[in-house]
Structure 1
Amino acid sequence: MPSPENQAALRRKRLVGLTRPWLLLAPALIVLAGLLLWPLIQVGKLSMEDYEVKFGGGVGTFTGLDHYTDLLSSSLLWKTVLPNTLFFAVACVGLTVALGTAVALLLQRLGPVWRLICSISILSAWAMPAVTGTYVWIWLFQPQDGMFSQLAGALGMIDPATTNWFTERIPFYAIATLNVVHHGFPFVAITVFAGLLTIPKELYEAGMLDGANAWQRFWKITVPTIKPVFLVVTILSTIWDFKVFTQIFLMPGGSGSNPDVYNLGVYSYIQAFAKNDYGTGAASAVLLTLLLLAITVVYIRTLFKQGEEDL
């Protein structure tokens, strides 16, 4: 049996082992709490108040869950805002991952020089600010004199003088999807390409000897081998695309004049800053945060589950 002195030393060692990691993480956790946790607390508090801006500050009157009740009973939320948010995110994620994977497979087949040229070209799209990219797409689809309007008019598909791509829900979000996918696919391409470099060539050679074609090698070798990479890019893209704001808000009608194209982020902004209904705007932001937290939990659990399966 250990002596009392040895027992005390073991307890001190265990205490140091438990507290040292938290002491090392403390500065970063304090910064994150100040930058993320405190604003979240304030938004949650604001969502349960009727907040009135006054000179020199503001006054909030506690209303409980009234704003959440009004929000969740709104037909605009269920018929327009949430469907726009959900279907737009699903379309963007699917197309972004598919295009990024196709480009990664192309990079894998190219020689060093062309691979470098293509990598720099696609990264320029990723480096472009979202504001700049959005205005480029607006210019391309500008009514009457936009390049795509002129092209569609020349093919007899539309009348450029009377067609406005931004007034209808589906064309509006089709353009927004092109914008988001164009901006997001380079991240997927470079990440998946890095994963492809880790796959031993012997696996593909064995597949070819077994008579597997390119499509079969992709699904039977590539996808299972770098499945964690696909999980990461898919769920991160989902998180990013659920909270898209800039690309929607800057497009004609997206800043509030056309309620049919609201997504959850824009709806929250319009309620808070255009209508001065800060409580409903904050409640919408909390709802979006809860959706993103749910996605994040799925992301973390999936990664841990994948890690356990690999052990």
Structure 2
Amino acid sequence: MPAEASASSGQGGAPALAHARGARRAAWTRAARPWLLLAPALAVLAVLLLWPLVRVVLLSFQNHGLRQINTGESDYTGLDNYREILGDPFLWKTVLPNTVFFAAACVFLTLLVGTLVALLLARLGRTWRVVCSTVIMMAWAMPAVTGTYVWIWIFDPLNGVVSGGLDAAGAIEPRETNWFTDRWSFYAIATLNVVHHGFPFVAVTLYAALLTIPRELPEAALMDGANAWQRFWRITVPTIRPVFAVVTILSTIWDFKVFAQVYLMPGGSGANPEVLNLGVWSYIQSFSRNEYGMGSAIAVLLTLLLLALTVGYVKALAGEGEEP
């Protein structure tokens, strides 16, 4: 009897083992299928993004100039580029303040204007909503290069609209006033440019989020005596907080790595060092001075700064979401 039981157990265990193996194989196939479908796109991204990023990091540890380009040799110097950059007062007194304060002002104003426009769109009738949406989308569709030259023309010291109007009012002398030589007025114009180009995305995105708020919530708050400001802070903001987080993160990334809006303005390409930000400084070090290792190190520092800000903001939002 024991031998028969053992044989019976062995015969029944083989199909069960085969079934378990088949189940594991099917589960592995289901898990691998999405990655197999994504493999072509991931391969393209690896070639177009990952390898250039790795190349920049490698160059940041080298003294790489024209001689290294011609000979193809690698002159690794370790952390020398980073030490030189971090020990340069120009970084801490000029470039980093320009980058951080300019980006912070642009993000704040872009979110403010975008939110106001989104609230306006939510209150307009269908016809005017279509008209306003079309107009603001034209501002978003305008290339950064074109928009920058428009703002340069507006503030042109001799023939610009602003200078001409202030000259007619007797407020300035156009031939003695150049808006692009002063650090503050330069970045004020750049801020107008960036906000004008960026607020449509925020406005349209937040307007779409406003449409998801149940109408019963603001109506109930209105019946309870809440004013418009209270309804906005107590109902609208908490309801669409995830969308606010997304547009804030995207605006932060875009505004910290602004290039064209600074580089194309008079003096922004290096003629006036007082207006350089990290992105333009990296470009000038690489392609104007042929110090590709130094320029790569600046680019890596900018990337690390963006990653730190983004991760910190995401963690702060996650912490708010976990609060009871």
TM-score, with structure 1 as normaliser: 0.94
- State the identity %: 63
* Matching residue of 2:119: 105
* Matching residue of 2:81: 67
* Matching residue of 1:199: 213
Which residue, 222, 228, 234 being the options, matches 1:208? 222
Which residue, 82, 86, 91 being the options, matches 2:105? 91
* Matching residue of 1:16: 29
Deviations 1:181-240 (A, max 9, x none): 000000001000001111111111111111111111111111111111111111100000
Amino acid at match of 2:287: F
Q: Are positions 1:7 and 2:20 aligned together?
A: yes
State how far apart, in whole Å, the 1-side matches of 2:103 and 2:63 are: 31
State how far apart, in whole Å, the 1-side matches of 2:94 and 2:323 are: 40
Deviations 1:255-310 (A, max 9, x none): 00111000000000011111111111010011111122233434655676788789
Which residue, 287, 298, 303 being the options, matches 1:284? 298
State how far apart, in whole Å, the 1-side matches of 2:71 and 2:164 are: 51
* Matching residue of 1:124: 138
State how far apart, in whole Å, the 1-side matches of 2:176 and 2:254 are: 35
In the alignment, is the contact (CA less than 8 A) between 1:52 and 1:58 conserved in 2? Answer: no
Which residue, 133, 136, 155 being the options, matches 2:169? 155
**How do 1:50-65 and structure 2 match up within 5 A?**
50-54=63-67, 58-65=72-79
Aligned length: 310
Amino acid at match of 1:111: G
* Matching residue of 2:154: 140
Q: Unaligned stretches of 5+ in structure 2?
A: 1-11
Q: 1:200 to 1:309 in 2, by over 3 A?
A: farther
Q: Unaligned stretches of 5+ in structure 1?
A: none
Amino acid at match of 2:37: L
State how far apart, in whole Å, the 1-side matches of 2:313 and 2:199 are: 19
**Comparing 199-208 and 37-46, the one that deviates more:** 199-208
Cα deviation for residue 157 of structure 1 reads 3.2
Which residue, 31, 34, 42 being the options, matches 2:44? 31
In the alignment, is the contact (CA less than 8 A) between 1:48 and 1:62 conserved in 2? Answer: yes
State how far apart, in whole Å, the 1-side matches of 2:53 and 2:75 are: 19
State how far apart, in whole Å, the 2-side matches of 1:37 and 1:302 are: 28
CA RMSD of aligned residues (A): 2.1
**How do 1:180-191 and structure 2 match up within 5 A?**
180-191=194-205
Amino acid at match of 1:128: M
State how far apart, in whole Å, the 2-side matches of 1:209 and 1:70 are: 63
Q: 1:304 to 1:16 in 2, by over 3 A?
A: farther
State how far apart, in whole Å, the 2-side matches of 1:180 and 1:91 are: 10
- Higher gyration radius (CA): 2
Deviations 1:36-95 (A, max 9, x none): 110011111111111232586643311111101101111111111111000000000000
* Matching residue of 1:268: 282
In the alignment, is the contact (CA less than 8 A) between 1:52 and 1:59 conserved in 2? Answer: no
TM-score, with structure 2 as normaliser: 0.90
In the alignment, is the contact (CA less than 8 A) between 1:51 and 1:58 conserved in 2? Answer: no
